[in-house]
């Protein structure tokens, strides 16, 4: 496994297992499989309703807690200093741990500055080893990072070979923020696994499209958290550190970028209204 150093010196695995869209019923089995094939970073969220399954799998694995890097996220309904603080304790309880390795604000809505104060306190109190945000697009990210004391160590965004998030990288760099990619395999959408450039590069390395897509992210220094409910795919997706993409291949993949900022427009008032009315 290769690691990325966050701005506070915390080392984070470059590849992890994401449980977005893994049902609460399946979560424990999936995380147990992921841990047994070698994943040591697990990414969950309050809004995935599967933190308990993650906690149960970790407890049963027998793997020392300090060998696992656990990520969770504060949901919109828990925004604000008091509610976020309570939700952090609730996440700790559900995950069956006394610290979270990386805690993120899940969405850029509601009282995010209040949430951040609670997260900074949890960080100072040792309940959390690193703090960051998720789904903060460039302008929103800049505003937030400019005004907070502890700068976000991570921004987790929808990012993959067809949605490369190149535009936000220079802004992250101003604050020492590292990028984490959700949907690193395009969420299995049509057109991803059939992409010609990815297939040609995969064939020349004797690797799969998934492995090339994950290698491309990790080689850019972006943490990837592919999701799969199949053990053999989990294994395949972890096996990306035994080959290197050439500069020419990296440049070719840069040309297939289709939606730099991802497919969700987080600034669209209709989308914001939907999220706030449904979850806020």
Active site residues: 48
Which range of residues in 120-128, 143-151, 230-238, 244-252 is near ligand A2P by CB under 6 A?
230-238
Q: Which of residues 234-253 bind ligand A2P (CB under 6 A)?
A: 236-237
- Residue in 257, 210, 253, 259 with CA at minimum distance from that of residue 235: 210
* Interacting residue with ligand A2P among 185, 222, 223, 238 (CB under 6 A): 185
Q: 155 or 208, CB closer to ligand A2P? A: 208
d(CA 87, CA 237): 32
Render the burial of 89-107: b for 16+ CB within 10 Å, e for the rest: eebbebbebebbbbbbbbb
- The only residue of 29, 229, 264, 275 in contact with ligand A2P, by rule CB under 6 A: 229
Closer of 119 and 163 to ligand A2P (Cβ): 163
Which listed residue (188, 251, 267, 271) binds ligand A2P by CB under 6 A?
A: 188
The interface region with ligand A2P, picked from 39-47, 168-176, 177-185, 199-207 by CB under 6 A, is 177-185
Measured in whole angstroms, how far is the alpha carbon of residue 7 from the centre of its chain?
17
Give the CA distances from residue 248 to residues 164, 192, 240, 253, in Å, rounded to whole numbers and listed in that order. Answer: 17, 20, 18, 9
Query: Which strands sit side by side in the sheet containing 223-224, from one edge to the other?
Result: 17-18, 41-43, 69-74, 102-105, 131-134, 154-158, 178-182, 223-224
Query: What is the C-alpha to C-alpha distance for residues 209 and 188, in angstroms, rounded to an integer?
Result: 11
Q: Is 62 exposed, middle or buried (0-12, 13-18, 19+ CB in 10 A)?
A: exposed
Residue nearest to ligand A2P (CB): 188
Identify the helix (H) or strand (E) that includes residue 182.
strand 178-182
**Least distance in angstroms from the C-beta of 221 to ligand A2P:** 19
User: CB 212 → ligand A2P: shortest distance, Å?
Assistant: 11
Count residues near ligand A2P (CB under 6 A).
17
* 157 sits near ligand A2P (criterion: CB under 6 A): no
Q: Does 227 bind ligand A2P (CB under 6 A)?
A: yes
Residues making contact with ligand A2P (CB under 6 A): 183-188, 193, 208, 210, 226-230, 233, 236-237
């Amino acid at each position: 496994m290769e690691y990325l150093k966050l701005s506070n010196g915390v080392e984070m695995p470059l590849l992890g297992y994401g449980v977005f869209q893994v049902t609460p019923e399946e979560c424990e089995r999936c995380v147990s499989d992921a841990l047994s094939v070698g994943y040591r970073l697990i990414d969950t969220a309050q809004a995935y309703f599967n933190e308990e399954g993650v906690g149960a799998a970790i407890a049963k694995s027998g793997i020392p807690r300090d060998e696992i890097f656990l990520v969770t996220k504060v949901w919109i309904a828990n925004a604000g200093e008091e509610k976020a603080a309570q939700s952090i304790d609730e996440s700790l309880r559900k995950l069956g741990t006394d610290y979270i390795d990386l805690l993120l604000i899940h969405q850029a809505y509601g009282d995010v500055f209040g949430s951040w104060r609670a997260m900074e306190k949890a960080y100072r109190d040792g309940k959390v080893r690193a703090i960051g945000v998720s789904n903060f697009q460039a302008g929103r990210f800049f505003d937030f990072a400019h005004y907070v004391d502890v700068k976000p160590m991570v921004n987790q965004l929808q990012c993959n070979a067809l949605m490369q998030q190149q535009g936000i990288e220079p802004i992250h760099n101003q604050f020492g923020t590292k990028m984490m990619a959700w949907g690193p395999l395009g969420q299995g959408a049509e057109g991803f696994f059939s992409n010609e450039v990815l297939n040609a590069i995969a064939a020349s390395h004797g690797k799969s499209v998934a492995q090339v897509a994950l290698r491309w992210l990790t080689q850019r220094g972006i943490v990837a958290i592919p999701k799969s409910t199949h053990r053999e795919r989990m294994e395949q997706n972890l096996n990306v550190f035994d080959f290197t993409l050439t500069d020419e291949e990296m440049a070719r993949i840069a040309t297939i970028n289709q939606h730099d900022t991802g497919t969700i427009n987080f600034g669209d008032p209709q989308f914001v209204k939907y999220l706030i009315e449904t979850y806020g």
